[in-house]
Amino acid sequence: MSPERLLTEISWMSQCLKVSLFAVDEAHCISQCGHDFRPEYTQLGILHDEFPEIPIIALTATADKITKADIVERLNLHDPQIFVGSFDRPNLSLDVRRGYSAKDKLRIIMNVIERHRHESGVIYCLVRKTTEKLAQKLRANGISVGVYHAGMSMDERNKVQEEFVNDRIDVIVVTIAFGMGIDKSNVRFVIHYNLPKSIESFYQEIGRGGRDGLPTETLLFYNIQDLITLRSFVEESGQKEINLEKLKRMQEYAEAQVCRRRILLNYFGETTEHNCGNCDVCISPPMLFEGTELVQKALSAIMRTKEQIGFTLTAEILRGTYSNEIVAKGYQSVKTFGAGRDVPFRDWQDYLLQMLQMGFIEIAYGEDRHLKVTELGKDVLYGRKRVELAVIERKDLRVKGDKKRQKNENTGLFAANDKKRKIKRYSSVCVNCASK
Ligand code: ZN
């Protein structure tokens, strides 16, 4: 039963039922620091008060240190035995793709589905609208697909869930509303169409794949828009500080240039000495190039518009795009207009994101999300600091017959001018001790 029902019926229960054990599932919901916090769960301490002799077991697949301590406290457990299994799920491959357009995402998702023809897969989206749009596109491509989100009736949800569990549909496109209590062993891929709000959510969601221990693909798409949307959700949430911190950790995971599994395990308090060999960073370590000049161009564009522009306008100014907004605001006469036209638009978005990560710019959420140059950014702009940027690799975006582009991609280079940039290959480094 749900905690809500338990709370209303507990007095009756204690008089009429002989209970031998209480099991609290999804126990991370008890903690304010747990990612699915539900206030009713916090009142489950009543179990111990009403049934002091009855054993209680609390179970969760995703709890960090504070959450574990909270579960013990809220349930009034005294000196409990705690069993922690390994968080490691080596059969799940980990892959993050950054800055992809909807069209590119669809193409890559279709590739994943092709690799797993007639096998089961889950695709998580941030909002309901996206689940429906994406399912429509997949259906148009001949895929057997269902949709699941909280806007549907209980009957509709149960029906689609049952069809998926019994292999009558292959792919299910869902929001986070999906999955609690679902145990299906043969899910062969889990895709995150958008960035999840926390590492716990992410880990729990990918954990719905490969429960039979067989190789399973997980793929996370991440772009600036996700971050902006999630940040605005956080701003409106009741626990702004905690949620902001969680989002930051999720973002760091997506941005990481070290073995992703080590980051996940480290997050849940489990350390490992070895890189996993089954994540995109291990398979293809990132390359860096001297990016000072690029960063200076972007910072200069922001400064010359008196810090009144966001990501899109900055990229448009750099690219020299005569968009309606640019012309209306007269930004075509800014000195840096077109100064970065050799770099594709979405690469500029990626570099701007890297600049945000490195702290050269920040987003003024209270000012229409305009970009502001930080003190550190000014050091770069005025030549006091040099910067290395990560080379953007989009291995799946090869265009047939475009040999020049392929050649550039094979060497990890993308924009035409990259040839001139000095490339440095970094090996993966341990997140904890900074040794190899
Ligand atoms: Zn790895």
Residue-level pLDDT at 432:
35
d(CA 224, CA 210) in angstroms, rounded, equals 29
% of the chain at pLDDT higher than 90: 50
Res. 36: pLDDT tops 70 = no
Mean pLDDT, rounded, for 358-384: 87
Residue-level pLDDT at 252:
83
Longest Cα separation, the chain: 80
Q: How far is the CA of 277 from the centre of ligand 1 (A)?
A: 5
Residue-level pLDDT at 34:
59
* C-alpha distances in Å from residue 77, one per residue of 13, 43, 56, 57, 72: 20, 13, 8, 10, 5
Confidence of residue 181 (pLDDT cuts 50, 70, 90): low
* pLDDT digits 0-9 by tens, 306-338: 999 999 999 999 999 999 999 999 999 999 999
Q: How far is the CA of 66 from the centre of ligand 1 (A)?
A: 26
Q: How far is the CA of 280 from the centre of ligand 1 (A)?
A: 7
Q: How far is the CA of 282 from the centre of ligand 1 (A)?
A: 4
Q: How far is the CA of 327 from the centre of ligand 1 (A)?
A: 46
Res. 66: pLDDT tops 70 = yes
Residue-level pLDDT at 429:
35
Residue among 292, 162, 390 nearest 300 (CA): 292
CA atoms within 13 A on the CB side of 232: 11
Average pLDDT, the chain: 85
Q: How far is the CA of 399 from the centre of ligand 1 (A)?
A: 28
Q: How far is the CA of 88 from the centre of ligand 1 (A)?
A: 12
Q: How far is the CA of 276 from the centre of ligand 1 (A)?
A: 4
* C-alpha distances in Å from residue 169, one per residue of 137, 286, 296, 298: 16, 37, 51, 47
Q: How far is the CA of 261 from the centre of ligand 1 (A)?
A: 5
Mean pLDDT, rounded, for 394-417: 40
More confident residue, 7 or 401: 7
Q: Which of 42-51, 213-222, 313-322, 360-369 is the least confident region?
A: 360-369
Q: How far is the CA of 109 from the centre of ligand 1 (A)?
A: 22
Mean pLDDT, rounded, for 142-148: 96
Residue-level pLDDT at 399:
38
Res. 288: pLDDT tops 50 = yes
Residue among 194, 192, 191, 252 nearest 228 (CA): 194
CA atoms within 13 A on the CB side of 227: 25
* pLDDT digits 0-9 by tens, 82-124: 998 888 899 999 999 988 989 999 999 999 999 999 999 999 9
* pLDDT digits 0-9 by tens, 202-256: 998 999 999 999 999 999 999 888 988 999 888 887 778 888 888 988 998 998 8
Mean pLDDT, rounded, for 145-157: 94
Tell me which amino acid residue 52 is.
Answer: P
Q: How far is the CA of 257 from the centre of ligand 1 (A)?
A: 10
Confidence of residue 409 (pLDDT cuts 50, 70, 90): very low
